[in-house]
Amino acid sequence: MGMLKKYYLLGFASYLLIPVVVLLGATIFNAINPEIAAGYPNYERNYRLLALAKTIALWTALLVNLALWFLTCFFLLKSKGLSYRWLPLVVLGPFGYIILTMLSDNAPAPNDLHRQFVHRLKLYLRIAYEMIFFAAVWVLAYQAVVLKSKLSIMYEAATTGTSVAQIINQRDASSGMWAFSEGLEVLYLVVLIYLLWPICFNVIARLPNLWKSSQEI
């Protein structure tokens, strides 16, 4: 764990909390039904209060997620020892985070093999590396969402008895909503892969030494 810096881990944890907050907020939002006020005294007042609670739940989840996204980028800058003047990049979403990952690390961890690898690259190799990695990440994220969509259709068909063709037709009828949802999933996975890559690189780079050590025991 010496290869991981505390602030980087905090940023990673902040990002992982985003889908948790989304699911929790959606659950609370769907659980509040203003129509249950019907049949009770003060229907109009109770309806407005329940509708207000529903709206507050939605906006609270949104604001908490914005704060978590800000913390993700803030802790990345903190882990690199960079100036906070780069923080406005958070408004660019995943693209802003990708730019932050490309900035120099002014406080590198001594055992961070990924940072050492990137630092040794010549400028033209660094540019090629970042471009290839950028394209690979987007392709991987997109394919992961496509696979998840196919698996969810198969699962829905198996549990409801509806044919795959019918489910696809139902989703095509609301294709805009599904496209938006899957687009958000792709964006989330892109940043997640960028967060995971330095960790995975360090783990993989250490495997030969770990194997050699295990053979000597």
Domain range annotation of the chain: 1-93, 112-217
Q: Please answer whether residues 14 and 121 qualify as being in contact, where contact means their C-beta atoms are separated by less than 8 angstroms.
A: no
Which structure tokens are listed for 47? 């309806």
Q: State the Cα–Cα distance between residues 133 and 6, nearest whole angstrom.
A: 25
Predicted local confidence at residue 24, as pLDDT: 94
Q: What is the reported pTM?
A: 0.84
Query: Consecutive 10-residue runs of the chain (217 residues): their mean pLDDT?
Result: 71 94 92 79 83 92 96 92 91 94 83 85 92 96 93 87 84 79 92 93 78 58
Predicted local confidence at residue 137, as pLDDT: 96
Contacts of 182 (CB under 8 A, 6+ apart): 145, 149
Predicted local confidence at residue 2, as pLDDT: 45
Please choose, from the candidates 187, 109, 112, the residue with its C-alpha nearest in 3D space to the C-alpha of residue 144.
Answer: 187
Predicted local confidence at residue 133, as pLDDT: 95
Predicted local confidence at residue 153, as pLDDT: 87
Q: State the Cα–Cα distance between residues 90 and 71, nearest whole angstrom.
A: 10
Please choose, from the candidates 124, 86, 88, the residue with its C-alpha nearest in 3D space to the C-alpha of residue 105.
Answer: 86
Predicted local confidence at residue 216, as pLDDT: 57
